[in-house]
Chain A
Amino acid sequence: MSAESVGQRLLAREEFAVVASLVAMAVVAGAFIFGVFPTVYDTFWGAACTTVDTWLVCSGFLQRGFTAGILIGITAPVVGAYLVNRQMALIGEALAHTAFGGVAIGLFVGATVPRFDYPLAFALVVATIAALAMQYVAVKTDGYADIPIAIMLTGGFALGIAVISYGVTFHATVESYLFGDILFVPFENVQLMVGLTLLVVGTIALTHKQLLFITFDREAARLARINVPFYDTLLIVLTALVVVAAMQILGAILVAGMLVIPVAAAMQLTDSFNRGLLLSVLLGQIAVFGGIFLSYWGDIATGAMIILVAIVFYLLALVVSFLLGR
């Protein structure tokens, strides 16, 4: 085969197109969050603050918190819909714990070299590596699927605790990544989350069909010559991105809830996967807004309230589905 036809074959391949689009989307998202987003953000919240003049929309802390929450309420249920239906609900939890290990390393490095004081970037790298490693282990070994998850979950957390206990770190900082803290979202983290959201939503929009096919029927997807390991890897990497984005609001410990609970509730209410996907985003938004308001009203931790509201809606969905006789 000549070099030219090898090149053509490569270009014609769907996987290549997906990776190329991912890179292109990352570049566009990067340009957007640094070039356009700060203006859009200021204009939007400025207008919101002049229209409804309350502390809830005029405080810079809450503006950043709301923005971050809305973004999580979109990305987490979207990625969660595939994970839950592949019985991989806990993979988000495992990745969040390894991401916490990454945050610990980031805090440690940042304390030594202030120029690298950006823990979430470390979390992103560590969680992505962990995601790829988990995928590799799952393919190469034929043990039970939850074993690598349990090892990664405890291993990542152990790494985090070890690094933190070795270095000198403020407890408040560590706690904000463990339990989430809506008042502790710096603007550059909002920017990062906007970028990650664009990347995740864009990739899902592009590859929804393939991801749904491998979720529903792997054998048939292989038969249709869909590259199943490639899309497995893509999904798990997207999960890592979402988890890192969600960690600041929900904390490493509660992240999985947002991936799972809105999806579980939506599954009770619809027979269609596509409608379920939209419904779980809607329920995610309700949980985020409800959680933030209740947390403000009762002075309770925000991440915890978001998850509790989500669970209340899950229970309501169970009741509704029972009453409808499904």
Chain B
Amino acid sequence: MTTAIALEDVNFSYDHRPAIKDVSLSVDEGEFLGLIGPNGSGKTTLLKIMLGLRTPDTGTVELFGTPASKFDDGARLGYVSQQSSEADSMMPVTVREVVEMGRYPHAGLRRLSADDHEIIDDSLARVDIDHLAGRRISQLSGGQKQRAYIARALASEADLLALDEPTVGVDAASVDRFYDLLDDLNGSGITIVLIEHDIGVVAEHADTMACLDCELYEHCETERFLESGVLERVYSSARVVSSAGAVAGD
């Protein structure tokens, strides 16, 4: 099996405050990794480093065997962020136009072709939002919006999908359907890295889990991970009282 993401001794700090300390981690192609950790533990930062959106202070990052800074096949990467992009609260742009953006890295400066449009149609249908294609993206519910961003990644034919707490503010029924969709995508060979605060959900869907709190505590198969006791260790520390409550509730 080949490696999708490989981090080696990665360190990253904001204004001399370390956010990521000596993290080494590798994600195989086809793996579904659930990344958990208390608030402010550096999960989002680590995810952005994995995707080459941030450069670590020290250490190396490889995407599909190429150093992340030199990796230029943007079409292979899909990203669904926690709060959807800044401008979309107002901007007039339809769901279809957003999904079309997935084809942009393929098209470069040329016009979108009939093939591109076919792939866009398929992507919209696969996440069940083809009936919303003409709607302004800001008028969609949270769950529908996240599906649109997944469709953009599908249109891009991404084989690595990174999601940062994608279901915050999404109603429970849509959350279940959303995770079924992720399972389905993972089943078709797409590597998934998921940040999620709901440990129960991660445990149910991910192949492997990793726990981060500035340092990486553990990264192994989900079952072994749950038995390792790392959750109790990380979440029982005093500075994460609120998260610990959430875990106990699961």
Q: Which residues of A contact B (CB under 8 A)?
A: 14, 17-18, 85-87, 206-207, 209-210, 212-213, 215-220, 222-226, 266-267, 270-274, 276
Contacts and interface: CB of A to CB of B under 8 A. Distances in A.
A14 B53 CA distance: 20
Interface string B187-207: 000000000000000000000
B88 interface: yes
Contacts of B109: 14, 17-18, 206-207, 209
Interface string B41-61: 000000000011100000000
A217 B74 contact: no
A182 B98 CA distance: 41
B108 A216 contact: no
A207 B108 CA distance: 9
Contacts of B105: 224-226
Contact of A225 (B74, B88, B90, B94): B74
Contacts of A267: 90, 92
Nearest to A270: B92
27 contacts: A14-B108, A85-B91, A87-B87, A206-B109, A207-B109, A209-B104, A209-B107, A209-B109, A212-B101, A216-B88, A216-B101, A217-B87, A217-B101, A218-B85, A219-B81, A220-B152, A223-B51, A225-B73, A225-B74, A226-B105, A271-B134, A271-B135, A272-B134, A272-B136, A273-B92, A274-B97, A276-B92
Contact of B97 (A18, A206, A222, A272): A272
B79 A272 contact: no
B156 interface: yes
Contact of B104 (A206, A210, A274): A210
Contact of A272 (B87, B90, B94): B94
Interface in B23-76: 51-53, 71-75
A271 B85 contact: no
A219 B85 contact: yes
Which range holds the interface residue count of chain B? 35 or more
Contacts of A207: 109
Contact of A216 (B51, B93, B156): B93
Contacts of B152: 220
A206 B110 CA distance: 8
A258 to B, nearest CB: 19
A175 B132 CA distance: 52
B234 interface: no
A213 B108 contact: no
A226 B136 contact: no
A266 B86 CA distance: 20
A272 B94 CA distance: 5
Contact of B74 (A226, A270, A271): A226
Interface string B120-141: 0000000000000011100100
Interface in B131-177: 134-136, 139, 152, 156
B92 A223 contact: no
B70 to A, nearest CB: 10
A207 B111 CA distance: 10
B74 A216 contact: no
Contact of B93 (A86, A206, A224, A273): A273
B87 to A, nearest CB: 6
A224 B75 contact: yes
A1 B92 CA distance: 45
B244 interface: no
B77 A223 contact: yes
B46 to A, nearest CB: 15
A87 B94 CA distance: 19
Contacts of B136: 271-272
Closest 5 interchain pairs by CB?
A225-B74, A271-B136, A224-B74, A217-B85, A224-B105
Contacts of A215: 87, 91
Contacts of A270: 92
Nearest to B88: A216
A213 B139 CA distance: 19
Given A216-B91, A267-B90, 9 more contacts: A207-B109, A209-B112, A212-B93, A212-B97, A218-B86, A219-B85, A223-B51, A224-B104, A272-B134
Contacts of A217: 85, 87-88, 101
Nearest to B105: A224
B104 A272 contact: no
A272 B92 contact: yes
A213 B108 CA distance: 12
A225 B75 CA distance: 8
Given A217-B85, A272-B97, A273-B93, A222 B53 contact: yes
Given A209-B104, A217-B88, A220-B101, A272 B93 contact: yes
A14 B92 CA distance: 27
A312 B136 CA distance: 25
A212 B126 CA distance: 24
| Interface-central residue, A85, A207, A225, by most chain B CB under 10 Å | A225
